[in-house]
Amino acid sequence: MDKNFDEWNQLKIKLDGIKTPPFFNEREIWWCSIGVNVGYEVYGKGKLFTRPVLVLKKQSGSTFIGAPMSTRLKQRPDYYQMTFNGKEVAVLLGEIRKFDGRRLADKLGKISENKFQEIKNAVCKHFQP
């Protein structure tokens, strides 16, 4: 894969100039400009370098802890599989990190409280020593 760091850096400059991020809440899934990353880290695709991200914990009006998602399903302990909008997807537990809300592009939807609790339990289990 040819990684276009220069194009991503130009978009990152534009994202940084956004004054107010969109309003977001826990349990929501958004297209999020993750960017081009190093090595095997998860990365975004397309013009905006996006991929779906689940908002796990809102930290302020501007930042959140999020889990990137994928339609590529793998039988691994760091992949929590579920159905969202009629598609089988995976929440990438090993890629959880802090995001700035200015990276959010479009809201895809919101998961149920029960499903969210299952994911939070999976996160805790994944990070237990």
Give pLDDT, residue 120: 97
Q: Which residues pair with 106 in a beta bridge?
A: 31
> Are 49 and 34 within 8 A, CB to CB?
yes
CATH code for the structural domain at 5-127: 2.30.30.110
Enter the pTM of the model. 0.94
Give pLDDT, residue 41: 84
Rounded to whole angstroms, the maximal C-alpha distance in the chain is 41
Domain borders along the chain are 5-127
Nearest to 54 by CA among 115, 12, 4, 110: 110
Nearest to 62 by CA among 24, 105, 96, 35: 24
Distance from chain centroid for Cα 17: 21
Spell out the per-residue pLDDT of the chain, length 129, in tens: 578 899 999 999 999 999 999 999 999 999 999 999 888 889 999 999 999 999 999 998 899 999 999 999 999 999 999 999 999 999 999 999 999 999 999 999 999 999 999 999 999 999 997
Nearest to 94 by CA among 48, 57, 42: 42
Give pLDDT, residue 1: 59
